[in-house]
Structure 1
Amino acid sequence: MSTFRTPKPRSRTFFLGIGAGLVLGAGISFAVTVYAAGDRNGIPLKQIQTFSQVFEIVKSNYVDPTSDKKLMNGAIEGMVSALDPHSAYLTPKEFKAMKVLTNGKFGGLGIEVTGDHGVLKVVAPIDGTPAAKAGIRHGDLIIKIDHKAVQGIPLQKAVDMMRGKPGTPITLTILRPHQVQPLHITLTRAIIRVQSVRSAMLAPGYGYIRISQFQENTGTETRKAVEYLEQKAHGHLKGLILDLRNNPGGVLDAGVETANTFLNKGLIVYTKGRTTDSDMRFSAQGPDALHGAPMVVLVNGGSASAAEIVTGALKDDGRALVMGQRSFGKGSVQTVIPLSNGGALKLTTALYYTPAGCSIQSQGIVPNVEVQPANARLRALNADLLKESELQGVLKAPDECSKVTPQYTIVLPNSATVSTPTASTQSAEEEDAVAAGSTLKPDLTKDYPLREALAVLEHKAVPVQEKGHRVDRVIPLPKAAGQ
């Protein structure tokens, strides 16, 4: 009988991505020491004996000969996947592929997915990628890959099926909420070069920054984007919209650095776990690159993890007004622990909390100003979109913040949608410009939430729902408390 203990790691990298579709981060390294019997936390002998019995029965009686390696890998995968949707065992091949993704350049479709009840659910397509251009949406269910059912296939293997040689075609069969017939969408795999930060001037003095995901350089690029917009505004921005809609997350440090871009001081986020190593606090050092100019942050159900950390910090610190829909609710920390076989364990070790002490996990960030379509069918469609709280085996983190509600509700016209501008809505010339630099051209005539956010920044009246009636009202902006 032996007991395993993991000494304090020398370095740690934390994941904030949703699933296996896009995993960002780097490994950590530490030893595992084996101790003799007598330690209080002994291995449960009865369960180990049962496991040994099942192993021998399967090895001796299964219809096809099965290798020890396959059986042991399956046992490890099953043990870890039973914990929560984000813990996973990575084989040496999968761990190597994961580390390649940290530089923001990889092959595939540019889609963030998570597994739920045997199918793949789309959290968000990434701007400018084959998935976004093909019209894949947050909430879509992928049921077949190249006409092969994904039911029962492990998440990582399904993701590997979607990757492949750039230029090769792939067909996804998709079920979309409130559509009877499945969609068959053929895409062409590509090397994904993600421009995570893009910017534009929306009106004289009013800037716009779109962050599609959080990569290692996103914080630096965000500050550069603010400086670029200030130049365009002749040295003085009157206000800024930070668009985090359909941003599936990414690297923790990048999210913290991005929030720090707009704060002089104050808590950004903190974590709580079982061990003292899991308890951390991240505070702003400043300076605020906007010099206190008002901000609006746009979010929706596809805004997750690092995007939620940034949003929660700017909301709780009184730095920004948050508009849109409740975010996804992915507020858990994954620590990557390399194993002796060349693989790794991606293990949930802590939960994230906003400066006000609210858990992000399964709750999400509630906007100050909710933006909802007037059309009942579209409202129902929004309500049906995937949320962290609906995933199988999800971790719950109940707290008093779960009763928070929006202060205002803006109801969109019947003809309007709550879509997010992506490169798929731009011309080829505009896409080339985006790929070559950091600018983009939002369409205010089609993006109603963005148009209303600009109106709020400009202190214009917007249509607010009050007691069942529409009232045009000027929504007050935060005065950069703590700045």
Structure 2
Amino acid sequence: MVSLCSSVLAEKDSPLSAGVEDAQTLPFEELRTFTEIFGRIKQDYVEQVSDKKLLEDAIRGMLSGLDPHSAYLASEEYKELQEGTTGQFGGLGIEVGMENGFVKVVSPIDDTPAHKAGIKAGDLIVRLDDKPVKGMSLAEAVKMMRGEPGSKIVLTVVREGAEAPLKFEITRDIIKVKSVKSRLLEKNYGYVRISSFQSGTGEGLLEAIAELKKENDSPLKGIVLDLRNNPGGVLNAAVDVSDAFIESGLIVYTEGRIKNSEMRFNATPDDVLNGAPIVVLINGGSASASEIVAGALQDHKRAIIMGEKSFGKGSVQTILPTSNGAAVKLTTARYFTPSGRSIQAEGIEPDVTLARVKLEALEKAQVEGIKEADLSGHLTNGNKQDKKSEDDGKDDEKETLDKNSDETGPDIDVRDYPLHEALNLLKGVSIWKTK
């Protein structure tokens, strides 16, 4: 997955050459074939192509054939990725991946041009301005979507359920993502929204909860932690957020083929909420770092997970700088929840499942969004034993809510059905704990 918000789970500063064994046997026969084809292109192709382009394209193809998240980052792309982890970067504000030759939206980022324009998770981008996406590489498509702040681009989108392609004219901007937002839903009950995991997200969470306590003028009885459509980000930020609520024990661990890909992260003492209940909202756009947090809180029985099954990105990408100023983003490990679950291509199953509903007109639920398991060439789960699908026999009944109900409290949009249900559940758990 390449991202307009440049999210990344793990970054290493070691050069690409580090860790490569000198004694490794080279596949001479295959390299001979590569050299032969390289020479044919140089000699016979209709137009002259530079050696640099041919070799970079070969590297991109080699990495893209591994899984959807491994990629070659040219120096400019590498710089943009580094900027993205700090929460400020140029672009439209969407997390995207390539599927069947088209660009597919994993998630729009809160309060960005794409989000405000109405781009949704699962949208298939088929044209950028007047240029068809089919035939482009993901890097080429991303480069087209980037541009000078204030400039415009038209995205033609195919959305399942829509009768015809939709067109969105979006003005590019410098994306400044505030990853943590909060407010009181009503007296004693707080709401914290994390839109992405950046280097300062853990600190932002602690500040947000401190502000909620101050505004409430008494200890909180519980919070709703909203991770919906959060595409992930920096691994350490996910650990910091989980650690804020867990007093001891394992948060997440990773396993890979090389020694330095194996990491374990443990909680430190203190719970910022002193045991007050938490309801975590997730959906199909909740990925990677979001799933680390949801999985850790679920395994420790520290929170109730509510909503839809998450995206299922349970792999760690390591950034390996190269000598030419570029970098390789390489999948080096899978991460596991404290109980040993691999989320890769499986996702987090909520404790309380909510069907996706549209309350404004009580219309048919929207189609399910794209998940990691839908991506071509996705990494397998890696569990030692095959797991059977637990989807069979699930109740598919959809609930509705009276639009005119005034039971939602002063600060809840009645159209946000999951948030309404999360607050109701939070109240119930809080009352039960006080008895």
| Same fold, judged at TM 0.5 (above) | yes
> In 2 relative to 1, CA 67–415 (structure 1 residues): closer, same or farther, beyond 3 Å?
farther
- Secondary structure in 2 aligned to 1:159? helix
Say whether 1:397 aligns with 2:384.
no
CA displacement, residues 249-285 of structure 1 (integer Å, 9 cap, x when unaligned): 0111011001111111121111110112111111111
Cα distance in 2 for residues equivalent to 1:125 and 1:276: 35
**Structure 2: runs of 5 or more not aligned:** 404-409
State the 1:409 CA deviation. 8.0
Matching residue within 153, 156, 165 for 1:170:
153
> In 2 relative to 1, CA 367–459 (structure 1 residues): closer, same or farther, beyond 3 Å?
same
Give the corresponding residue for 1:28: 13
Matching residue within 446, 451, 455 for 2:415:
446
Cα distance in 1 for residues equivalent to 2:18 and 2:357: 60
State the 1:378 CA deviation. 3.8
Matching residue within 363, 371, 374 for 2:354:
371
State the 1:36 CA deviation. 10
CA displacement, residues 374-401 of structure 1 (integer Å, 9 cap, x when unaligned): 789844x343x10100101101115466
Say whether 1:265 aligns with 2:248.
yes
CA contact (8 A) 2:103 2:125 kept: yes
CA contact (8 A) 1:371 1:409 kept: no
State the 1:29 CA deviation. 2.6
Q: Which amino acid aligns with 1:449?
A: P
Say whether 1:106 aligns with 2:89.
yes
> How many residues matched?
421
Matching residue within 149, 152, 155 for 2:138:
155
Give the corresponding residue for 2:428: 459
- Secondary structure in 2 aligned to 1:458? helix
Give the corresponding residue for 2:54: 71
Give the corresponding residue for 1:426: none
Cα distance in 2 for residues equivalent to 1:377 and 1:456: 25
> In 2 relative to 1, CA 349–141 (structure 1 residues): closer, same or farther, beyond 3 Å?
same
State the 1:329 CA deviation. 0.3
Q: Which amino acid aligns with 1:295?
A: I
Cα distance in 2 for residues equivalent to 1:156 and 1:149: 14
- The CA RMSD over aligned residues, in Å, is 2.6
Say whether 1:86 aligns with 2:73.
no
CA displacement, residues 74-130 of structure 1 (integer Å, 9 cap, x when unaligned): 111111110000000111222122222222111111111111111111111111111
> In 2 relative to 1, CA 368–408 (structure 1 residues): closer, same or farther, beyond 3 Å?
farther
Say whether 1:119 aligns with 2:102.
yes
CA contact (8 A) 1:456 1:475 kept: no
> In 2 relative to 1, CA 23–268 (structure 1 residues): closer, same or farther, beyond 3 Å?
same
Cα distance in 2 for residues equivalent to 1:452 and 1:78: 46
State the 1:407 CA deviation. 9.7
> In 2 relative to 1, CA 282–378 (structure 1 residues): closer, same or farther, beyond 3 Å?
farther
Alignment of 1:64-463 (within 5 A): 64-373=47-356, 378-379=364-365, 381-383=366-368, 385-397=369-381, 399=383, 403=389, 411-413=398-400, 443-459=412-428
Give the corresponding residue for 1:45: 28
State the 1:305 CA deviation. 0.4
What's the TM-score once normalised by structure 1's chain length?
A: 0.82
> In 2 relative to 1, CA 317–137 (structure 1 residues): closer, same or farther, beyond 3 Å?
same
CA contact (8 A) 1:169 1:187 kept: yes
CA contact (8 A) 1:370 1:410 kept: no
CA contact (8 A) 1:20 1:156 kept: no
What's the TM-score once normalised by structure 2's chain length?
A: 0.91
CA contact (8 A) 1:84 1:393 kept: yes
CA displacement, residues 326-363 of structure 1 (integer Å, 9 cap, x when unaligned): 00001100001111111111000000111111111000
CA contact (8 A) 1:374 1:414 kept: no
CA contact (8 A) 2:184 2:411 kept: no
Q: Which amino acid aligns with 1:394?
A: H
> In 2 relative to 1, CA 35–368 (structure 1 residues): closer, same or farther, beyond 3 Å?
closer
**Structure 1: runs of 5 or more not aligned:** 1-17, 417-440, 461-473
Cα distance in 1 for residues equivalent to 2:86 and 2:382: 35
> In 2 relative to 1, CA 36–77 (structure 1 residues): closer, same or farther, beyond 3 Å?
closer
CA contact (8 A) 2:246 2:269 kept: yes
State the 1:66 CA deviation. 0.9
The answer to which of 313-322 and 146-155 deviates more is 146-155
